[in-house]
Amino acid sequence: MSSKILIIGACGQIGTELTTKLREIHGVNNVIASDINTRNLDLVNSGPFEIIDAKNYNAIKDCCKSNTIKTVYLMAALLSATGEKYPMEAWDLNMNSLFHVLNLAKQKTIDKVFWPSSIAVFGPTTPRESTPQHTICEPTTVYGITKQVGERWCEYYHEKYDVDVRSIRYPGIISHKAMPGGGTTDYAVEIYHDAIKKGNYECFLSENTSLPMMFMEDAIKATTDLMQVPSESLSIRSSYNLSAISFTPKDIFESIKKQLPEFSISYKPDFRQAIADSWPSSIDDTMARKDWNWKESFDLETMTTEMLTQLKKKYNS
């Protein structure tokens, strides 16, 4: 029997598109999608799917053993804005799910793990411009704390138990398929939907808040490329800095307005402004470019064109 892949939290913003790409690469039946619910019916019906709670070690282990799963992508998490509302739930889910998967790799039930970290590992004391790979990390959100601690555990399991775990500090991810799940960069997705649907957008961040962002196609390519690189090429086992574009709400508004001249915006910052203010505005990802030849394809203008084209199709059909 050939070895297979399990995606935990496959129905989310990134998992949905990651599942599709991995099935293109490895074949539909070699990629098992799983989530705690079946809300995303398109994904659920697109190939093998199981209900798995990421906090349930036995459920993950049973699925891995019965399907000869050798690689796990752990995408389930509570994100930054939701984590501030439910701090203990964020800690419980984000940490325990990671331990379950790392322990399965330690016991050699599985061979390889992908676990996403985030720019949320950084904090107000981190250098904000061109944030280096190795720098001060004093996160001020529960989500950021779980990602920082998770990174330490990933490196520890690699060093002590030879676990092949790979990770990226994703910036804010922008996509047109599944909606984002409660992060601070969600505005950069919502703005495109409202531009098409309503012609105006009320932004929960202030106009000059610059944050690192990336179009989904680039994020998926980075993820699948990182997982295919020979293990010995990788020098970072905590999590790789990764960057593509940095922009403010004003920049994205102006980019949309070039194509939709009637579009208008207003700004009403809420609790997410403080989270955004604690994060970097741009990222130095030299290590990712050097170790596995990372290079982005989309800039703000090409991303805007693609987002508006796809969303117009979606809302017109």
Ligand X SMILES: NC(=O)c1ccc[n+]([C@@H]2O[C@H](COP(=O)([O-])OP(=O)(O)OC[C@H]3O[C@@H](n4cnc5c(N)ncnc54)[C@H](O)[C@@H]3O)[C@@H](O)[C@H]2O)c1
Q: Among residues 57 and 161, whose Cβ is nearest to ligand X? A: 57
Least distance between ligand X and beta carbon 74 (Å):
7
In our burial notation (b when 16+ CB lie closer than 10 A, e otherwise), range 198-216 reads eeebebbbeeebbbbbbbb
Least distance between ligand X and beta carbon 14 (Å):
4
Q: Among residues 185 and 304, whose Cβ is nearest to ligand X? A: 185
- Contacting residues for 256 by C-beta, under 8 A, at least 6 apart: 191, 192, 195, 263, 304, 308
Q: Among residues 13 and 141, whose Cβ is nearest to ligand X? A: 13
Least distance between ligand X and beta carbon 45 (Å):
15
Q: Cα separation of 264 and 249, whole Å?
A: 12
- Name the catalytic one among 73, 143, 157, 192: 143
- Of 18, 237, 290, the C-alpha closest to 112 is 237
Please provide residue 6's backbone torsions phi and psi, each rounded to the nearest 5 degrees.
-120, 130
DSSP 179: P
Query: Would you call 143 a catalytic residue per the annotation?
Result: yes
Quick one: CA torsion of 229, 230, 231, 237, rounded to 10 degrees?
-20
DSSP 71: E
* Radius of gyration of the chain, Cα coordinates, nearest whole angstrom: 19
Residue nearest ligand X, Cβ-based: 12
Q: Cα separation of 267 and 180, whole Å?
A: 20
Residue 261, judged by CB atoms within 10 A of its CB (0-12, 13-18, 19+), counts as exposed
Coil, helix or strand at residue 240: strand
Q: Among residues 36 and 260, whose Cβ is nearest to ligand X? A: 36
Tell me how many degrees the CA angle 253-285-221 measures, rounded to the nearest 5: 75
Q: Among residues 12 and 105, whose Cβ is nearest to ligand X? A: 12
The footprint of ligand X (CB under 6 A) covers 8-9, 11-15, 35-37, 53-55, 75-77, 79, 93, 116, 118, 170, 172-173, 180-181, 183, 185
Least distance between ligand X and beta carbon 279 (Å):
11
Least distance between ligand X and beta carbon 258 (Å):
24
Q: Among residues 186 and 194, whose Cβ is nearest to ligand X? A: 186
Least distance between ligand X and beta carbon 119 (Å):
7
Quick one: CA torsion of 221, 226, 147, 67, rounded to 10 degrees?
90
Catalytic positions:
143
